[in-house]
């Protein structure tokens, strides 16, 4: 028994919009424990919808359609499904009534186009749409197949899913066994190195453990199938604890934890404050800190020292340091971190100076060379050198800020 998501819409085939509906339904299916192996996107075209149906019917028992329920001629999902099963469409008076009422409320005139939205295959149940004019349907044209249709408008689809589809699926026994996932998040270790350390877990069947990497971060997803979230967690936790013990400080958090949130929590616990001195990241590190609600309890501010004169005038970097070693250097990073710690009277000062490119590199200081300085409450400063060569400006800036957060995190752990 498995479900399949079929999204109908030429705008998806033209790449005009992201398929947020597929993501939403996929996450919901996982939550209900309904297996789901395929997603398909197809245009507003009857014969191609038939092709997709033929395959989907052969391998899945629950088909979730989104899109193509609107009033215009290119909206033909319902008609295509009905014709595939040689079933007539019937106008539903209760839908006509509902659409008429909604148009009246909005002081607009219902058009003939909208009558089309009241046509559903004979035998199909209406899947009510509270806010919009396009209802969906729940239809079992043949046993054990169940077809559910939703409009493409995300807010309408979400509400219809929660209000009607979920209770319907639960009544059929779904949701008794669920798939629950926990994601462990790592910084400062590569995917293959981490995989080598924890590969003994990759053969587990329940929970499963799978790695993936994105934007310099590595994640391990632990997924368990169980009767409840609590049962799933009881299966996941021992594995998660073993992995955390192996990974040590490289594991910075789980699920929605971000580096900035974890660092913020550590600063909050210690009742310490931080300030940033940013050159190549231009404010990006401060923006990460302040993404976190409540960050004002530990983040006091910073100096964006993009020009050398600002490094000297506001951060007290010595002109001779800039002259002798350059703005992108270990001594400059050091003085920037101390300078902002001093100017803003904080426990910690973090600096970033580097060459984000694409221009500005030299043979000795190539694009991607970045220094991160961490000045601590004991007046010590540690400076770390990074080489992000071969990466683009946005990536170099993002990774620089993440590494700076990670360095502070590791300092705060001791």
Within 304-363, the residues that bind a second copy by CB under 8 A are 304-307, 309-310, 313-314, 343-345, 356-359
CB of 166 to a second copy, least distance (A): 15
CB of 254 to a second copy, least distance (A): 13
Neighbouring-strand partners of residue 137: 126, 149
CA distance 414 to 411: 6
Candidate ranges 31-39, 229-237, 239-247, 331-339; the one touching a second copy (CB under 8 A): 31-39
Q: Does residue 97 touch a second copy according to CB under 8 A?
A: no
Count other C-beta atoms under 10 Å from residue 183's C-beta: 16
Which of positions 179-198 make contact with a second copy (CB under 8 A)? 179, 181, 183, 190-193, 195-196
CA distance 226 to 235: 8
Candidate ranges 28-36, 82-90, 160-168, 246-254; the one touching a second copy (CB under 8 A): 28-36
Q: 188 burial class (0-12, 13-18, 19+ CB within 10 angstroms)? A: middle
303 with 328: CB under 8 angstroms? Answer: no
CB of 171 to a second copy, least distance (A): 23
Which of positions 103-142 make contact with a second copy (CB under 8 A)? 105-114, 130-131
Which of positions 243-272 make contact with a second copy (CB under 8 A)? none
Q: Does residue 285 touch a second copy according to CB under 8 A?
A: yes
Identity of the residue, 87 or 265, whose beta carbon is nearer to a second copy in the bound complex = 265
CA distance 8 to 267: 48
CA 353 to chain centre: 29
Which residue of 301, 326, 361, 376 would you call a contact of a second copy, by CB under 8 A?
A: 301
CA 78 to chain centre: 31
CB of 320 to a second copy, least distance (A): 21
**121 three-class SS:** strand
Which residue of 289, 341, 353, 399 would you call a contact of a second copy, by CB under 8 A?
A: 289
Q: Does residue 370 touch a second copy according to CB under 8 A?
A: no
- Residue 190's contacts (CB-CB under 8 Å, 6 or more residues apart) are 213, 218
331, two tokens: 């001594």
Q: Does residue 51 touch a second copy according to CB under 8 A?
A: yes
Hey, what's the torsion of the CAs at 72, 126, 160, 171, to 10 degrees? -150
CA distance 172 to 175: 9
291 with 259: CB under 8 angstroms? Answer: no
Q: Does residue 204 touch a second copy according to CB under 8 A?
A: no
Whether omega before 386 lies within 30 degrees of 0, making that bond cis, reads no
Residue with tokens 């050398």: 308
Candidate ranges 84-92, 228-236, 290-298, 331-339; the one touching a second copy (CB under 8 A): 290-298
- Region label for 387, one of left (φ > 0), alpha (ψ between -120 and 50) or beta (otherwise): beta
Q: Does residue 69 touch a second copy according to CB under 8 A?
A: no
Which residue of 71, 123, 253, 326 would you call a contact of a second copy, by CB under 8 A?
A: 71
CA distance 276 to 294: 17
CB of 123 to a second copy, least distance (A): 27
Residue with tokens 């092709």: 51
The residue count for binding a second copy (CB under 8 A) is 120
CB of 105 to a second copy, least distance (A): 6
Which of positions 384-413 make contact with a second copy (CB under 8 A)? 387, 389-395, 397
Residues in the chain: 414
Identity of the residue, 131 or 206, whose beta carbon is nearer to a second copy in the bound complex = 131
Candidate ranges 41-49, 78-86, 225-233, 369-377; the one touching a second copy (CB under 8 A): 41-49
Which residue of 57, 128, 223, 328 would you call a contact of a second copy, by CB under 8 A?
A: 223
Which residue of 164, 281, 351, 400 would you call a contact of a second copy, by CB under 8 A?
A: 281
Q: Does residue 45 touch a second copy according to CB under 8 A?
A: yes
């Amino acid at each position: 028994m498995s479900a399949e998501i079929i999204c109908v819409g030429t705008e998806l085939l033209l790449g005009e919009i992201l398929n947020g509906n597929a993501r939403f339904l996929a996450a919901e299916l996982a939550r209900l424990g309904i297996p789901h192996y395929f997603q398909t996107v197809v245009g507003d075209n009857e014969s191609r919808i038939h092709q997709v149906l033929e395959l989907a019917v052969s391998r899945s028992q629950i088909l979730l359609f989104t899109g193509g329920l609107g009033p215009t001629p290119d909206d033909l999902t319902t008609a295509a499904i009905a014709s595939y099963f040689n079933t007539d469409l019937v106008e539903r008076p209760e839908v006509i009534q509902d659409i008429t009422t909604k148009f009246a409320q909005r002081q607009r005139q219902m058009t003939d186009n909208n009558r089309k939205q009241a046509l559903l295959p004979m035998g199909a149940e209406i899947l009510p749409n509270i806010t919009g004019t396009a209802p969906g349907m729940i239809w079992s044209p043949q046993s054990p197949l169940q077809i559910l249709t939703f409009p493409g408008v995300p807010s309408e689809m979400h509400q219809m899913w929660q209000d009607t589809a979920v209770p319907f699926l639960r009544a059929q026994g779904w949701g008794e066994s669920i798939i629950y996932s926990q994601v462990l998040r790592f910084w400062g270790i590569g995917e293959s190195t981490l995989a080598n350390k924890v590969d003994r877990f990759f053969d587990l069947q329940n929970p499963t453990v799978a790695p993936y990497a994105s934007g310099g971060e590595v994640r391990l997803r632990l997924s368990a199938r169980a009767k409840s979230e609590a049962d799933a967690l009881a299966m996941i936790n021992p594995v998660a604890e073993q992995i955390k013990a192996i990974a040590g400080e490289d594991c910075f958090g789980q699920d929605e934890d971000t580096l900035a949130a974890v660092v913020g929590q550590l600063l909050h616990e210690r009742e310490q404050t931080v300030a940033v001195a940013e050159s190549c990241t231009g404010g990006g590190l401060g923006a990460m800190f302040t993404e976190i609600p409540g960050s004002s309890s530990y983040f006091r501010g910073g100096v964006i020292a993009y020009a050398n004169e600002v490094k000297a005038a506001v951060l007290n970097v010595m002109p001779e340091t800039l002259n002798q070693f350059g703005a992108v250097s270990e001594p400059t990073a050091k003085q920037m971190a101390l300078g902002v710690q001093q100017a803003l009277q904080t426990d910690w000062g973090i600096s970033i100076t580097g060459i984000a490119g694409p221009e500005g590199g030299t043979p000795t200081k190539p694009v991607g060379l970045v220094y991160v300085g961490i000045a601590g409450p004991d007046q010590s400063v540690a400076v770390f050198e990074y080489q992000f060569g071969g990466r683009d400006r946005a990536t170099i800036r993002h990774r620089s800020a993440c590494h700076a957060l990670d360095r502070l995190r590791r300092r705060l752990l001791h």
